[in-house]
């Protein structure tokens, strides 16, 4: 089956889908994106993703290419045309095409590209045995709350993790506190049973999965604190895990080659994995 992409107003076969070489996304990474999981044929937490998209666009003064309602329709159309039952939608909006000059052009039309692809069901071993992470310095800019397409430090971090045989890299700020993963949010459960993730200020991306988990943890009456945690706290935690739209929730059972909590998947993480699966299934039931 050949894939289809939406590019600035038309649906095109993937091989023919292209953007102008003077697109500011290509030249300056002057754009934002969203990755939305598709479960049972429908987008997961669509409202949250679109709200974050609107916020990212506003922070960078990029005009939305269409209304959020229209975007919703196009995203569904792309998922349908690519026969995606379970997978992801990728959406990228840039400031558009203009002669290369750092300052914003006076007139440019935002560019919009949307693709969708199927994804295999998550590796069951990732859930039963957990994944490994490494900890590295966070070398990114100071506005990590904006979901910018400028992802070079994240790519370097993921490659470092891959080279070390790990699934993810957790990044650490200059105070020795974990910010987040290269493509996920970072969580621990302390020895007092407190679920902890860093507060969503400019230092991290406010994950949509993160927000869903905070709500689900409250429903499950899990003791929760939004604060930074140190490398030391992480390595001696009772549990650790990551969250993202595509990785979902994966227990972390090793940090920098050392087992976390004896290398076992903990009960809080298991509870949240089950609650999140029910949350995704519930959205489909509500929609259709
Ligand atoms: N943090 C970073 C740096 C990410 O790239 C991502 C997802 O790609 C996340 C956190 C998790 O965000 P979400 O749950 O919205 O997928």
* Ramachandran angles phi, psi of 186, nearest 5°: -110, 140
pLDDT digits (tens, 9 = 90+) for 93-102: 999 999 999 9
Helix (H, G, I), strand (E, B) or coil at 249: strand
Is the pLDDT score of 17 beyond 90? yes
pLDDT digits (tens, 9 = 90+) for 37-56: 999 999 999 999 999 999 99
Q: Which atom of ligand 1 is nearest to the CA of 182?
A: 3
Residue 113 is predicted with a pLDDT of 98
Is the pLDDT score of 288 beyond 80? no
Task: Give the mean pLDDT of 258-269.
Answer: 96
Q: Helix 208-219 to helix 267-287 angle, to the nearest 10 degrees?
A: 110
Residue 167 is predicted with a pLDDT of 98
Residue 283 is predicted with a pLDDT of 84
Task: Give the mean pLDDT of 86-94.
Answer: 98
pTM of the model: 0.97
Q: Given the residues 117, 129, 147, 250, select the one marked as catalytic.
A: 147
Q: What is the mean pLDDT of the chain?
A: 97
Is the pLDDT score of 150 beyond 70? yes
As a whole-number percent, the residues of the chain with pLDDT over 90 amount to 95
Q: Is 149 near ligand 1, meaning CB less than 6 Å away?
A: no
Distance (Å) from CA 211 to ligand 1 centroid: 11
Is the pLDDT score of 285 beyond 80? no
pLDDT digits (tens, 9 = 90+) for 158-176: 999 999 999 999 999 999 9
User: Measured between alpha carbons, how far is 183 from 157 in angstroms, rounded to an integer?
Assistant: 9
Is the pLDDT score of 58 beyond 80? yes
Residue 89 is predicted with a pLDDT of 98
pLDDT digits (tens, 9 = 90+) for 192-244: 999 999 999 999 999 999 999 999 999 999 999 999 999 999 999 999 999 99
* Sequence-separated (6 or more) residues with CB below 8 Å from residue 260: 130, 234, 235, 237, 239, 240, 252, 253, 254
Q: How confident is the model at residue 122 (pLDDT cuts 50, 70, 90)?
A: confident
Residue 287 is predicted with a pLDDT of 67
Q: Is 207 near ligand 1, meaning CB less than 6 Å away?
A: yes
Residue 6 is predicted with a pLDDT of 98
User: Measured between alpha carbons, how far is 153 from 214 in angstroms, rounded to an integer?
Assistant: 27
Q: Which of 63, 62, 78, 5 is nearest to 28 (CA)?
A: 62
Q: Whose CA is nearest to atom 5 of ligand 1?
A: 183
Q: Quick one: which H or E segment has residue 27?
A: helix 24-28
147 is catalytic: yes
């Amino acid at each position: 089956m050949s894939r289809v992409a939406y590019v600035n107003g038309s649906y095109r076969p993937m091989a023919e889908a292209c953007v102008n070489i003077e697109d500011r996304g290509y030249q300056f990474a002057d754009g934002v994106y969203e990755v939305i999981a598709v479960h049972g044929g429908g987008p997961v937490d669509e409202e949250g993703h679109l709200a974050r998209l609107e916020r990212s666009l506003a922070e960078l003064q990029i005009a939305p290419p269409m209304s959020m309602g229209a975007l919703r329709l196009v995203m569904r159309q792309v998922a349908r045309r690519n026969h995606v039952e379970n997978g992801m939608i990728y959406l990228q909006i840039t400031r558009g095409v203009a002669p290369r000059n750092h300052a914003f052009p006076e007139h440019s039309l935002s560019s919009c590209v949307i693709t969708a692809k199927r994804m295999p069901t998550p590796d069951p071993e990732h859930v039963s045995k957990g994944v490994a992470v490494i900890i590295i310095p966070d070398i990114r800019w100071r506005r990590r709350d904006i979901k910018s397409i400028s992802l070079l430090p994240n790519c370097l971090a993921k490659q470092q993790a891959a080279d070390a045989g790990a699934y993810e890299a957790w990044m650490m700020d200059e105070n020795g506190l974990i910010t987040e993963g290269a493509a996920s949010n970072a969580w621990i459960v302390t020895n007092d049973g407190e679920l902890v993730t860093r507060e969503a200020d400019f230092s991290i991306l406010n994950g949509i999965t993160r927000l869903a988990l905070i709500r689900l943890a409250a429903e499950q009456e899990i003791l929760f604190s939004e604060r930074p945690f140190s490398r030391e706290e992480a390595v001696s935690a009772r549990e650790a895990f990551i969250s993202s739209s595509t990785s979902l929730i994966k227990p972390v059972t090793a940090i920098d080659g050392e087992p976390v909590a004896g290398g076992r998947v903990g009960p809080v993480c298991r509870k949240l994995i089950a609650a999140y699966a029910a949350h995704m299934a519930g959205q489909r039931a509500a929609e259709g």
